A and B are shown apart, each in its own frame.
Chain A
Amino acid sequence: METSASRASLLELKGITKRFPGVLALSNVSLSVGQAEVVALIGENGAGKSTLMKTLGGVHQPDEGEIFFDGKPVTIAKVADAIGLGIGFVHQELNVLDNLDVASNVYLGREPLVGGPMRLVNQRRMWTESETYLKRLGLTISPKTPVRELSIAQQQMVEIAKALSQNARVIIMDEPTSSLTLAETDRLLATIKDLRNSDVSVIYISHRLGEIEQIADRAVALRDGQNAGELARADVKHEKMVALMVGRKLEDLFVQGKGPQERGYFQVEGLRTPYRPHHRISFDVASGEILGFAGLVGAGRSEMAQAIFGVEPPLEGTVRLGGQELKIASAREAIDAGIYLVPEDRRQTGLITSMTIRENITLPGLERYSPGMMISRAQEEEVSKREVEALRVKTPSIETRAMNLSGGNQQKVVLGKWLSLQPKLMIFDEPTRGIDVGAKAEIYRLMRELADRGVAIIMISSDMEEVLGVSDRIAVMHEGDITGFLPRAQFSEKAIMSLATGRKVP
C-alpha cells in the first residue's frame, strides 16, 4: 500500500468524534492528507463527509479527537483559524457574492487598504494581485468582471483563486462538479492536477466516481460516520469504491410490492419546462408502480416534477391521468386531479414550519373542511389526528409547530398533507434526504403501501441505493432529457451512472 506513509503528512485528523443532539455524526474518524496529494473522500449522503470537513473548516468543533497540521497539533475553533492554517474551501453551493466583481470576491474581508483613517480599499492592488491568481488557474477574465456575468465553472475558479490568495495548502472541494458540464469538469480536473504540481493538496468530495478514478491519489471512504476503509491509487476503481461506500446490506429496508397494475395510467408526452425549454420529456407510470428518477444534480428532475405539479407550469406537453387529459396551470389543478408533490426542500416548500401540524396537514384540502368557507376546527382536528396516528408522527400534540419536529417527522407531516386527500399520482422528490434510517424504512413502506393501493408513484432520488432498492423501474435523466429506462432486471449502478452522464448503457 503506497499511502500517506510515503509522503510527508500535511494534515492529519485522528479519532474525530462529533455528536449532535441524538445523533452520533462522526465516530472515531481518521483522515490524513499528504503534501501535494489529492485525496478523495467518498461515502453516501449522511455518511459524515460534510460534518468531517466542517470540523476542518472551523464550523463544528469535534467532541473528541485531534487535528495535526504540519505535524503540530492545532485547534480550529473558527473559520478564520482554518484560513490562517492554509485550509481553503470550495463549497458545493458557491459562496461568491454575485453583486461584486471578481477581485472583490477574492479579497472579501481582507481588502488591501490604502491606509489612513478612512480605511479606503486599495482597488489597484486588489486588481493586479487577483489577476496573478486568475492567471495561475489559466483564467483570462478580468478581475473587474462582475461575478454575475461568469459561468458557474468560472465562479468556482474565483473561489479557488480566493483559496490560493489565502495561501491555502489544502483545498477542500465539496461536490465541485455537480453543476458543471463535461468540458468544464475536465478543465477543473486539469486545474486540480496543476494545483498538485504546485504543491497544493486537495480533498475532493464527489459522488462521481469516474472523476475520482481520474484524479485521486487515494480514496477514503466513510460510512455511517465511521471510517470504512481506504484505497491506494492503483485500487481506486469504481466497484471497489462502491463496495466500501455501501458495505452493509440494506435489502431488508426495501419492501417489494404487487408491482405495476394498469399500464399507462399516468402519461407525460413532450413536456417542456421553463427551466429547459429546448428539451422534451415523455414517459408513463403504471398505477401501482414506483418509477425511480435517477440522474445527477441539475439534470432537470426536480424541474420536471414542479412542471407536472403545476408550481412552475410547463410550457407545452400533454399530461394524462387515467386516460383523461389534464390542463395544469397551477398547483391547484394538479391537486384537484389527485397529483401531489412531496418536494425536495421540506422546510422551504413542504411545510410552513411556524404553523402547527394541524394547520399544515389541512392546508391543501382546507376548503373541504370549511363549510361556507369557515374552517371547521372539529373536522381539522379529526383529519390531522387521523394522519398523525396513521403515520406515527412522534409529537406531543397536533398543535405542535412543525419547526419543533425532527426531519423524519416533518417529512411524515408533509406526507400527511397529501394522504388526507385522495392521491392518484404521488411525486416524491428526494423523500429521505437528511432522515435517519428508521424513518427512511417507514417512508419506503408507506410508498409501497400507496403503490399497492393503486397509486402511481414517481420517486426522484440521488441516493443510488434508494433508487435501486425502491423502484420498480428507473428512468435516468441527463441535462434535461431522459436518456434511458431500466427495467428491474437491468438495475445496476453502472448502468445508471452511464445514462446519467449521457453515455449509452454498456
Chain B
Amino acid sequence: MKKELGITILLVALCAITTALNPRFLGQANLENMARLIGMYGIFSIGMGLVIITGGIDLSIGSIFALQGVILVIMLRGWNFPWPIAVLASVIGVMLLGAMHGWFISKIRMQPFIVTLCGLLFYRGMARFIANDETKGFGSTGFDELRQLATGSIGPVPMPFVLLILIGIIAYILLHRSVFGRYLYAVGRNEDAARYSGINSQMIILGTYVVEMLLVAIGGILVAFYTNSISPANHGSSYELYAIAAAVLGGCSLRGGEGSILGIVIGTALLQVLQNLVNLLGIPSSLNFAVMGAVIFLGVLVDQVSGQRKKKQQVPTPAPIASTPTAMAN
C-alpha cells in the first residue's frame, strides 16, 4: 500500500504542475484522450505485471501486437470472417503463444528474457513476412463493434478505460483474493519454498503466461483498431517497454513476488500523464523519451534509497536468550 501511495502522490503532483502551467490539461478532450490511452496500455501492462511478479518478463508484446494485427486484417478483410470468429481466433492464438512461452520457461527452464526476446524477433519477422512488409488497414468502414471498443465511449468515458476498470477489478480479485494469486506471489518470491508447500510452481508460471497473453490479446485488438492500420515493421514497437515501466513504477520488483494491480494501473497513468505533459508544456517532443526515462529512474531510485534507509534503521530482532520460561516449565 505504501508504494502505491508514493506514486499516487507523484501522479497528483505531476497533474497539478501540468494544470498550473497549462489549464488545457483538464480540458475534456485532453482528459478523454488520456483516459483512452491509459485504458489501452493499462490492460496489457497488468499482464506484464503478473508475469513480472512470477519473476519473469515478456519482451514480445509489441511484436505480438504486430502479428496479431496483421492476421486480424487478413481474417476480417481477406477471408471475410465474421468478426466474433476472427477475434476469438486471434485471442486463442495469442494465448497459445503464451502457453508456449510458459512451457519453455517453467518446464524447460529457459530464461524468460531469452524466450521472449526470441519472440520479439520472431513474431516481428513473421508479421512483416505475412504482410509482405506492407501496411494493412481495416479500411474506413465496417467492424463497428470492434471500432467502438477502441474509439467509442460510454457517455464521456472512453471504452478502453471502461474495459480497464472491468479487467482491473477481475485481475485484482485474481491476484489479491484468490488462491492462484497467493501462489503467484509465493512462486515469484521463493519457488523452492513454494514447491515445499505443495504448490505446483510450473503450472502457476505457465498459467500466468497464458493469463498475460489473454490481456495482451485484448490490448492488441484495441491498439489495432485505435491505429486502424498495421504497419508490420513498427506497429506496437517497444510497447513491452512501456508495460515494464508501468509495472516497475507501480511497485513490481523484477526479482519477483512483489507488485499490485492498483500500482500497475497508477504506473500506467503516470506514464501517460508524462507523455501528455511533454506535449502540453511545449517541451520538444524529441525529449519525450528522455523525460520518461528520467522520471521512471527517479521514481525507482527514491523507492530504493528510502527502502535501504529503512532497513538500516531496523534493528535486527534479537534472538531470545536461551530459555523460554513458559515452555521450560512444561
Among listed B22-30, B208-216, B322-330, interface-contacting one: B322-330
Return the contact of A373 from the options B178, B192, B193, B198 (Cβ within 8 A).
Answer: B178
Q: How far apart sit A483 and B276, CA to CA, in the bound complex (Å)?
A: 74
Return the contact of A331 from the options B195, B319, B321 (Cβ within 8 A).
Answer: B195
Contact of B238 with A by CB under 8 A: no
Shortest Cβ distance from B187 into A: residue: A352
Question: In the complex, are the beta carbons of A442 and B317 less than 8 A apart?
Answer: no
Given known pairs A22-B318, A355-B186, A408-B320, the reply for A343 and B180 (CB within 8 Å) is no
Question: In the complex, are the beta carbons of A363 and B327 less than 8 A apart?
Answer: no
Given known pairs A439-B324, A442-B324, the reply for A375 and B196 (CB within 8 Å) is no
Contact of B194 with A by CB under 8 A: yes
Contact of A134 with B by CB under 8 A: no
Contact of A37 with B by CB under 8 A: no
Q: How far apart sit A417 and B328, CA to CA, in the bound complex (Å)?
A: 23
Return the contact of B327 from the options A21, A343, A367, A438 (Cβ within 8 A).
Answer: A438
Question: In the complex, are the beta carbons of B182 and A359 less than 8 A apart?
Answer: yes
Question: In the complex, are the beta carbons of B196 and A331 less than 8 A apart?
Answer: yes
Question: In the complex, are the beta carbons of A437 and B323 less than 8 A apart?
Answer: yes
For chain B, residues 211 to 270, give those with C-beta under 8 angstroms from any C-beta of chain A: 257
Question: In the complex, are the beta carbons of B193 and A438 less than 8 A apart?
Answer: no
Question: In the complex, are the beta carbons of B189 and A355 less than 8 A apart?
Answer: yes
Question: In the complex, are the beta carbons of B192 and A438 less than 8 A apart?
Answer: no
Please report the total number of A residues contacting B with Cβ < 8 Å: 46
* Interface bits B171-195 vs A (CB < 8 Å: 1, else 0): 0010001111011011001101111
Contact of B199 with A by CB under 8 A: yes
Contact of B279 with A by CB under 8 A: no
Contact of A145 with B by CB under 8 A: no
Question: In the complex, are the beta carbons of B179 and A375 less than 8 A apart?
Answer: yes
Question: In the complex, are the beta carbons of B193 and A351 less than 8 A apart?
Answer: yes
Residues from chain B with Cβ under 8 Å of A23 in the complex: 318-319, 321
Contact of B313 with A by CB under 8 A: no
Residues from chain B with Cβ under 8 Å of A441 in the complex: 323, 327-328
Residues from chain B with Cβ under 8 Å of A373 in the complex: 178-180
Q: How far apart sit A392 and B325, CA to CA, in the bound complex (Å)?
A: 11
Question: In the complex, are the beta carbons of B324 and A352 less than 8 A apart?
Answer: no
* Interface bits A305-346 vs B (CB < 8 Å: 1, else 0): 000010100000000000000000011101110000101000
Could you list 28 A-B pairs, sorted by A, with CB under 8 Å?
A21-B315, A22-B319, A22-B320, A330-B195, A330-B198, A330-B200, A331-B198, A332-B200, A336-B198, A343-B196, A348-B193, A352-B190, A354-B189, A355-B186, A355-B189, A359-B186, A364-B198, A366-B182, A366-B183, A373-B178, A374-B177, A374-B179, A375-B179, A375-B182, A436-B320, A436-B322, A437-B323, A438-B324
Footprint of B on A, CB under 8 Å? Answer: 20-23, 309, 311, 330-332, 334-336, 341, 343, 348-355, 359, 363-364, 366-367, 370, 373-375, 392, 394, 404-408, 417, 436-439, 441-442, 445
Footprint of A on B, CB under 8 Å? Answer: 173, 177-180, 182-183, 185-186, 189-190, 192-200, 257, 315-324, 326-328, 330
Beyond A366-B182, A406-B318, A438-B327: 13 further Cβ-contacts under 8 Å? A21-B319, A309-B196, A331-B196, A332-B199, A332-B200, A336-B198, A349-B193, A349-B195, A353-B190, A364-B197, A374-B178, A438-B324, A438-B328
